[in-house]
Amino acid sequence: MLLSGQVEPVVILEDSDDDFDTVCEAIRRMGIGPEVCRVTDGDACLTLLSQRTAQLPALVILDLNAPGTDGRETLRRIKLDPAVQRVPVVILTTSTNPRDLDLCYLYGANAYHTKPVRYPDHLRAVEVILRYWLGDVTRASSVVHAS
């Protein structure tokens, strides 16, 4: 599936530089070039989204354990906000806590992935996410239509 010509950006909530670097490496290896907007806390993520309601991002990737407003609360607010709730939100986290799993799906997460410790596995996880959500899936239009 062609991923070029992708215009909408991908928003990533990730407070770890190392893990963000892994995401960038995965994108580089895939040879695609979506704009990546990185935020390091939940409030920044919500602010960014509220400024982009005219043209929403293609995908939001959330780490759960972010400083300040964490990923769980960020997810909840995104899915409660009619202006942004149709953006796919994918959780990429270290947590294997079943409570987190239940909570995220309850709040409306589109997918839940755990970060593997092995680097190649981690790269593959990011690649799978991006390939699926930027390529395989038909997403809702990023432009808001008056209804």
> Which residues contribute to the site for another protein (CB under 8 A)?
16, 18-19, 22, 65, 93-98, 100, 115-120, 122
What's the closest the beta carbon of residue 116 comes to another protein, in angstroms?
8
* Tokens describing residue 34: 């979506």
Q: Is 125 left (phi over 0), alpha (psi -120 to 50) or beta?
A: alpha
What's the closest the beta carbon of residue 144 comes to another protein, in angstroms?
36
Which residue, 60 or 64, has its beta carbon nearer to another protein? 64
Amino acid at 49: L
- Please give the sequence-ordered ranges of beta strands (E in DSSP) within 51-125, or none if there are none: 59-62, 89-93, 111-114
Question: How far from 42 is each of 2, 38, 125, CA to CA, in Å?
Answer: 31, 11, 22
Which residue, 8 or 63, has its beta carbon nearer to another protein? 63
Which residue, 22 or 110, has its beta carbon nearer to another protein? 22
What's the closest the beta carbon of residue 82 comes to another protein, in angstroms?
32
